[in-house]
């Protein structure tokens, strides 16, 4: 099994891409205490944002300092609005500040963070609830003010990209106490019309001007909407609760129109391109099939079934002849081996029989010479005691003992009257 090996740069680039795709990390508010604050000669501000249990490196580039109306110092309690991203060279993440406000500047930030945290805990920002934006929408609903730059931008861009798309406007209040009710009702009304996608938003302004899109009522209306929703509130740097809940966030109303309305001219070009590609692909496919057909025809002529059958028959006949020859040769060899073994066996049996007869004659002569019966016929007898043991020594008998004498034609029992020892030749004393 092969292992995938990556470079450090590849790993850091992958992690950076993960941060870039995380909506929360791109628009985040972080509160903490300023530490290790340094003003660089380039105009950049490098600092650490910490609380009781953790810290995060942060930087505000010189181009973003126009939004900073006070001097950043050690120990200040601040709220930083910005993006969390990875610095690939060092492989570390940090907070890129776009706006810094001192704690206590306004209650709206605290309200924003509180509601955002509550809704996040409820799971309303979870990506699993996000609906995909249709690629070819034909009916687009818009919840925004009936007059103003936002609706004009959406209409102009939609007309330029696709004059055939149908725009349906719900003129809602986007600022003031009644704005949240108007926006929520507009979303609910257009959702019942079976449209392809909704654009909810307005032009830029202060946090107070955009506050209607930070209301829980509006957030729940977006979350419960069955039609995919694109949030387009303010400018690119403006972030609202509606952005978190919506299925897709657009930095501006103009960008929302770009995302919701497909480019008809580009669509026609793509269709024509696909048709050309399909036609060329079909032509190449047909050419290949014709070529294969011609090849198959030629092979069929060269390798006709009848010719193949005749060839197989001839090969079968040859194999049959070879098999018969091999069987005959094997049978002849086996027959010769069998005859040879028969002759060797007969010779061994004859030799063994002759040797056996010779040994039998020798043994028969020796047995005849040692036969007790033959000795008995010469006047000799075989003597045993009363218990049938061979009587070989005078020490085996006492006067009065019965002994048995066997001769050639019978036996007789006798009683010992007297014993006398004799000195044998060659014995001592």
Q: Which residues pair with 143 in a beta bridge?
A: 170, 200
The mean per-residue pLDDT over the stretch 233-240 comes to: 79
Contact between 79 and 107 under an 8 Å Cβ cutoff? The reply is no
Give the alpha-carbon dihedral of 236, 83, 53, 244, to 10 degrees: 50
Q: Is a pLDDT exceeding 50 seen at residue 116?
A: yes
Q: Is a pLDDT exceeding 70 seen at residue 373?
A: no
- pLDDT, position 167: 96
CATH of domain 129-262: 3.40.50.280
Strands (E), 272-409: 382-385, 402-407
Check the CA dihedral 316-319-325-330 and report its sign. negative
CA–CA separation, 49 and 94 (whole Å): 10
Is pTM beyond 0.85? Reply is no
For the stretch 294-331, pLDDT in tens is 888 887 777 667 777 777 888 888 888 888 888 888 88
What is the 8-class DSSP label of residue 241?
H
Contact between 377 and 408 under an 8 Å Cβ cutoff? The reply is yes
Helix 149-161, helix 253-260: angle, nearest 10: 30
CATH of domain 8-105: 2.40.50.140
For the stretch 252-264, pLDDT in tens is 999 999 999 999 9
What is the 8-class DSSP label of residue 424?
P
- pLDDT, position 429: 47
Measuring CA to CA, which residue among 63, 61, 69 is closest to residue 85? 61
Contact between 166 and 140 under an 8 Å Cβ cutoff? The reply is yes
Give the domain ranges of the chain.
Answer: 8-105, 129-262, 265-331, 376-415
CA–CA separation, 167 and 170 (whole Å): 10
Pairing of strands 77-87, 28-39: antiparallel
CA–CA separation, 410 and 408 (whole Å): 6
Per-residue tokens: 142? 């818009």
Does residue 168 sit in helix, strand or coil? Answer: strand
Q: Is a pLDDT exceeding 80 seen at residue 241?
A: yes
Cα separation values, 324 from 72, 133, 321, Å: 108, 81, 5
CA–CA separation, 116 and 360 (whole Å): 123
For the stretch 129-184, pLDDT in tens is 999 999 999 999 999 999 888 999 999 999 999 999 999 999 999 998 899 999 99
pLDDT band at 279 (very low <50, low <70, confident <90, very high): very high
CA–CA separation, 343 and 335 (whole Å): 12
Angle at 262 between CA 132 and CA 250, to 5 degrees: 55
Q: Which residues pair with 405 in a beta bridge?
A: 383, 412
pLDDT band at 104 (very low <50, low <70, confident <90, very high): low
- pLDDT, position 72: 84
The mean per-residue pLDDT over the stretch 225-254 comes to: 90
Contact between 138 and 167 under an 8 Å Cβ cutoff? The reply is no
CA–CA separation, 402 and 287 (whole Å): 131
Q: Are the folds of 8-105 and 129-262 the same?
A: no
Strands (E), 164-273: 166-171, 197-202, 229-233, 248-249
Does residue 29 sit in helix, strand or coil? Answer: strand
Measuring CA to CA, which residue among 77, 76, 94 is closest to residue 85? 94
Pairing of strands 197-202, 229-233: parallel
Per-residue tokens: 98? 């776009």
């Amino acid at each position: 099994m092969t292992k995938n090996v990556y470079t450090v740069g590849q790993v850091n680039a992958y992690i950076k891409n993960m941060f870039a795709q995380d909506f929360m990390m791109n628009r985040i508010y972080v509160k903490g205490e300023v530490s290790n604050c340094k003003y660089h000669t380039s105009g950049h501000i490098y600092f650490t944002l910490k609380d009781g249990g953790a810290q995060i490196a942060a930087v505000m580039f010189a181009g973003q300092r126009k939004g900073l109306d006070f001097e950043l110092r050690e120990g200040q309690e601040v709220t930083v609005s910005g993006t969390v991203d990875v610095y690939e060279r060092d492989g570390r993440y940090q907070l890129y500040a776009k706006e810094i406000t001192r704690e206590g500047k306004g209650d709206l930030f605290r309200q924003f963070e509180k509601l955002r945290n509550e809704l996040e805990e409820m799971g309303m920002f979870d990506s699993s609830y996000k609906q995909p934006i249709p690629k070819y929408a034909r009916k687009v609903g818009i919840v925004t003010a009936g007059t103003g730059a936002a609706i004009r931008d959406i209409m102009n861009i939609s007309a330029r990209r696709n004059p055939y798309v149908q725009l349906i406007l719900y003129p809602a209040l986007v600022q003031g106490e009644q704005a949240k009710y108007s926006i929520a009702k507009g979303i609910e009304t257009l959702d019942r019309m079976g449209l392809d996608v909704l654009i909810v938003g307005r032009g830029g302004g202060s946090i107070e001007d955009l506050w209607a899109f930070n209301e829980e009522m509006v957030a729940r209306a977006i979350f419960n909407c069955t039609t995919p929703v694109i949030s387009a509130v303010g400018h690119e740097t403006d972030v609202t609760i509606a952005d978190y809940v919506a299925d897709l966030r657009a930095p501006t109303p103009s960008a929302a129109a770009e995302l919701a309305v497909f480019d008809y001219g580009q669509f026609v070009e793509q269709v024509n391109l696909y048709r050309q590609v399909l036609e060329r692909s079909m032509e190449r496919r047909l050419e290949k099939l014709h070529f294969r057909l011609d090849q198959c025809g030629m092979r069929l002529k060269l390798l006709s079934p009848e010719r193949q059958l005749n060839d197989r028959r001839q090969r079968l006949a040859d194999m049959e002849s070879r098999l018969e020859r091999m069987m005959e040769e094997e049978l002849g060899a086996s027959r010769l081996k069998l005859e040879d073994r028969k002759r060797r066996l007969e010779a061994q049996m004859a030799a063994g029989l002759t040797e056996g007869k010779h040994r039998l004659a020798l043994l028969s002569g020796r047995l005849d010479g040692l036969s007790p019966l033959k000795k008995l016929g010469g006047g000799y007898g075989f003597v045993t005691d009363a218990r049938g043991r061979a009587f070989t020594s005078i020490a085996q008998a006492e006067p009065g003992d019965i002994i048995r004498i066997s001769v050639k034609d019978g036996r007789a029992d006798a009683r010992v009257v007297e014993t006398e020892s004799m000195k044998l030749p060659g014995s001592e004393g």
